[in-house]
Structure 1
Amino acid sequence: MKGLAFRKLGRSTSHRNHLLRNLVTSLLEHERIVTTVAKAKEASRLAEKMITLGKRGTPTALSSAQSFLFNTGTSMPRLSEMAARYAERPGGYTRVHLMGHRKGDHAPRAVLELVDNPTDVKLDMTARTVAREAYTLLHRAQKNIGWDALQALLQKQASLPIESDTRFHPLTRKNMAKIVRYRGEAARAEFVQKAQQYLERMWAQDQLEGKRRPDTARWDAMELSRPSRGRTLTRPMTGARVHAGELETHVAASVGTEVEEARPIRRRDGTIAPARRTRTSKPSVVRLAKGVFAKRRLRGTTTPVP
């Protein structure tokens, strides 16, 4: 009955088993594969079982792993390496990252990888997040960021346990703690080095390109080359671009700051209200995608502080 159920879906039981064995073997050899979400979840479960058998190390366990894996001449030595790498880790040897949809049939894709591999996606993404948050902290400290201030911040980060720095977001600190929990000082040094590189790259890009501004030359060229189609709806921009739904660094740094208005507010009855302190909130328009904007319910960018 089980085989008949799989034949109805277009894949027999033997075909399914061979497919999963092939995925697990490729994962052990390359430490990262790209497949659909359903296959990634099922292959992740079997890969965890194979690594557990490799850590057990008994003849029976190794024989079971050898009967499951393909290309045993290369997969079994790799299994021994994975068992040595995860000797102190009680479980959780694989990680699944969602990767959009596949072109053609629009199937949801995923990246299945072994944790603590040389090109760990989670380590790279967390390093980028730390660099972006540190750059926002620099913008809040001063508008004109010099190289000396950048180097001072990097030295301060390198001298402290970065996962214990309360200046970063709690979720970011949680991800950093996961990265360095079983890998020790080597992972912490690699993580700090990557964060430094991304932070320096952001600073250099800001110094070279400047803030996001309209590209008037390209705008005029587009109007002259396509006069029959009318004016373009979206003005081309130059400088550092922001991702959809995100704010620019200098705008995000100003959110939450409190200032006292220099000019008192004039009331309708002619009287003048005293000066008040205002807190800068998120702007009333957020960029969703290229040329697409959505309005927030906020009426302005500042709100009075009670």
Structure 2
Amino acid sequence: MKHGISQRKLGRMPAHRIALLRNLVSALLHHESIKTTLPKAKEAAKMAEKIITLGKKGTNPAKSKAMSYLMPPHNSPPPSASSSTMIDPEDFVAPKSLLPKLFNDLSKRYESRPGGYTRILKFGKRQGDNAPHAIVTLVDGPRDVKFELLARTVGKEGLDLIEETGSLDNISEGWEGLTEKTKRQVEKVLKYRNDQEKKVFKDKAREFADYLQAEEAGYGGLRAPNVSPNVLKYRKPGMNTPKSGRLLHAGERLSGVSTHSTGLGLARGALVRTPRGRKEVDRNPRFWGQARLPEGVTAELTVD
């Protein structure tokens, strides 16, 4: 009977597997975001949780255990000349140990969080062997991918509130104008963040909302028949029907549009049958303004 098997083999011998996990955990704590295969990402996230727990303890035995497991961090290049915090390359010294960051910065960041310091996001398949890719990030940090993606979702769904009040500043803790699923995700992501980080989140959402409106106004809408909607009820637009707006290429995806309108989404829609009882997904690429129109209503698009 086998006992004590709590990790994946990862196709490696024990010494190689331990060195691999030590390297992945050290890189994750140093860069706060790494990309690897999904099985290795799950094992690295599990070990990173234990190491961060040692950092929160802050005792001498915890420091000894962390020191014996972590490898030296990857050497980061000096900041570029375009950076606001320019450092002389001759004076730049890469960190030699992750212990100060672990027992000072990360322990303070996760002081009130009982667990769940990492997040795994699936990232497609690797070219060649088709292995599943994943991105591992430290939550509540500057490189949290979900923080960036969720801010765009809030900006897209909060456009109705922008039209009513003029900005997203009046959003309370209830997050009006968002779907229930997005509200739960926002509460989850911002639960342990301070007021300054919440303000940054709203600024990112407002910036993406402005981008959606500017793109729609700049392109003049999709290329559509410039005729009355009443005429379209009786006849379909032909080759001689006047067109206006921007020409849409096959499978093109615009900002804020569902991935169902991409080339892969169109191919899946053509090959996969819609399950019985489920509403068919509208795969027509549209701008934000067109997507919000009631069902059966078309808009007249004109170029100013």
Give the Cα–Cα distance (whole angstroms) in 1 for the partners of residues 253 and 53 of structure 2. 50
Residue 153 of structure 1 corresponds to 166
SS at match of 1:33: strand
8 Å CA contact retained: 1:101, 1:108: yes
For residue 133 of structure 1, the aligned residue among 154, 157, 160 is 157
Residue 177 of structure 2 corresponds to 167
Residue 112 of structure 1 corresponds to 136
Give the Cα–Cα distance (whole angstroms) in 2 for the partners of residues 41 and 213 of structure 1. 46
For residue 203 of structure 1, the aligned residue among 213, 216, 220 is 213
Map Cα deviations across residues 140-197 of structure 1 (whole Å, 9 max, x no partner): xxxxxxxxx659431xx21332x41232101111111112211121221011000011
Following TM superposition, by how much is the alpha carbon of 1:244 offset from its aligned partner in structure 2, in angstroms?
Answer: 3.1
Equivalent pairs counted in the alignment come to: 222
Give the Cα–Cα distance (whole angstroms) in 2 for the partners of residues 130 and 212 of structure 1. 24
Bigger Cα Rg: 1
Identity, % of aligned positions: 37
Following TM superposition, by how much is the alpha carbon of 1:240 offset from its aligned partner in structure 2, in angstroms?
Answer: 4.6
State the one-letter code of the partner of 1:180.
L
Give the Cα–Cα distance (whole angstroms) in 1 for the partners of residues 253 and 17 of structure 2. 50
State the one-letter code of the partner of 2:23.
N
Give the Cα–Cα distance (whole angstroms) in 2 for the partners of residues 251 and 151 of structure 1. 18
Gaps of 5+ in 2: 74-95, 225-246, 261-282, 299-304
Map Cα deviations across residues 1-27 of structure 1 (whole Å, 9 max, x no partner): 89xxx9x97410110010000000000
8 Å CA contact retained: 1:179, 1:187: no
Residue 15 of structure 2 corresponds to 14
CA-based RMSD:
2.9
Higher strand share: 1
Query: Relative to structure 2, which stretch is displaced further, 236-245 or 177-186?
Result: 236-245
Following TM superposition, by how much is the alpha carbon of 1:96 offset from its aligned partner in structure 2, in angstroms?
Answer: 0.3
Map Cα deviations across residues 88-114 of structure 1 (whole Å, 9 max, x no partner): 111110000000001111100000000
Query: In the superposition, relative to structure 1, how do residues 108 and 114 fare at CA in structure 2: closer, same or farther (>3 Å)?
Result: same
State the one-letter code of the partner of 1:74.
S
- Report whether the alignment pairs 1:124 with 2:148: yes
State the one-letter code of the partner of 2:22.
R
Map Cα deviations across residues 102-140 of structure 1 (whole Å, 9 max, x no partner): 1111100000000011132111111111111123x37xx
Residue 191 of structure 1 corresponds to 201
Query: In the superposition, relative to structure 1, how do residues 125 and 50 fare at CA in structure 2: closer, same or farther (>3 Å)?
Result: same
Query: In the superposition, relative to structure 1, how do residues 151 and 79 fare at CA in structure 2: closer, same or farther (>3 Å)?
Result: farther
SS at match of 1:164: coil
Residue 112 of structure 2 corresponds to 88
Query: In the superposition, relative to structure 1, how do residues 210 and 179 fare at CA in structure 2: closer, same or farther (>3 Å)?
Result: same
TM-score by length of 2: 0.66
Following TM superposition, by how much is the alpha carbon of 1:77 offset from its aligned partner in structure 2, in angstroms?
Answer: 1.6
Give the Cα–Cα distance (whole angstroms) in 2 for the partners of residues 191 and 9 of structure 1. 38
Query: In the superposition, relative to structure 1, how do residues 251 and 31 fare at CA in structure 2: closer, same or farther (>3 Å)?
Result: same
Residue 101 of structure 2 corresponds to 78
SS at match of 2:97: helix
SS at match of 1:158: coil
State the one-letter code of the partner of 1:244.
T
State the one-letter code of the partner of 2:112.
E
8 Å CA contact retained: 1:98, 1:109: yes
Give the Cα–Cα distance (whole angstroms) in 2 for the partners of residues 239 and 124 of structure 1. 19
Gaps of 5+ in 1: 139-148, 215-233, 256-279, 284-306
Residue 124 of structure 2 corresponds to 100
